[in-house]
A = this chain, B = another copy of it.
């Protein structure tokens, strides 16, 4: 062993060969993704959960996830889970946090990367055969399987924070929506009531709403105007801010 190698070993520096050996044989760990899939329906924020089929967690609900394949990009695994469970592509998906305590999973050491996703519930139909999948009010869920309650709480907080920084909420709405629906959405996500006039002022001043010159149909009161979100304009604006974590 050369002086250099000795020094490297003392310092914990590793050669490529040593690393390859460790990567291939020694230190591999099962890695999964878990998706907190949010939807908005009946003026409530919902999350898509599946009934756990593990004895230990019988009857409890868990997030939708799966192991990451050895040849699959991490984000791709999350999109795969989403696609498999909702049939949807091109949805909003953001990584939140990686949970990696040794004891978090009953089937052995599994590190999981948590994502949250925002989908338009109108665009998707749950497989009606798949009665293990259910939309839950976020306000009523507790006591989930594994450490999924913690993961869910973390993702909900992330959503609440992000939605106050960027107009993500539109991903949860149908293409056409009224300002009341938009406000209901924000109140459901953030769990507090807002001033109607200030809310409208704020969104109009952001200038991302396109007036569709249409009115709501079949509402039991004076119908409101319908708008759509100007995704194109928002994407342009985002590009200008690249580098400032926009």
Query: Which residues of A are at the interface with B, using a C-beta cutoff of 8 A?
Result: 7-8, 11-16, 19-20, 22-24, 26-31, 50, 53-56, 66-75, 84, 95, 97-102, 105-111, 113, 127, 129-130, 132, 157-158, 160-161, 243-245
Contacts and interface: CB of A to CB of B under 8 A. Distances in A.
A54 B8 CA distance: 12
B71 A100 contact: no
A22 B67 contact: yes
A130 B11 CA distance: 7
B95 A97 contact: yes
Contacts of A108: 20, 23-24
A6 B7 CA distance: 57
B110 A23 contact: yes
Within the oligomer, what is the number of copies of this chain? 2
Contacts of A129: 7
A48 to B, nearest CB: 14
Contacts of A105: 23
A132 B11 contact: yes
A157 to B, nearest CB: 5
Contact of A68 (B7, B54, B100, B113): B100
Contacts of A22: 30, 67
Contacts of A14: 53
A10 to B, nearest CB: 8
A11 B108 CA distance: 23
Output the residue of A26, A29, A55, A97 with the most chain B CB within 10 A: A29
A106 B69 CA distance: 18
B111 A74 contact: yes
Contacts of A111: 31, 68, 74
Given A23-B108, A95-B97, A107-B19, A29 B68 contact: yes
A146 B186 CA distance: 41
Given A7-B129, A53-B13, A74-B100, A67 B31 contact: no
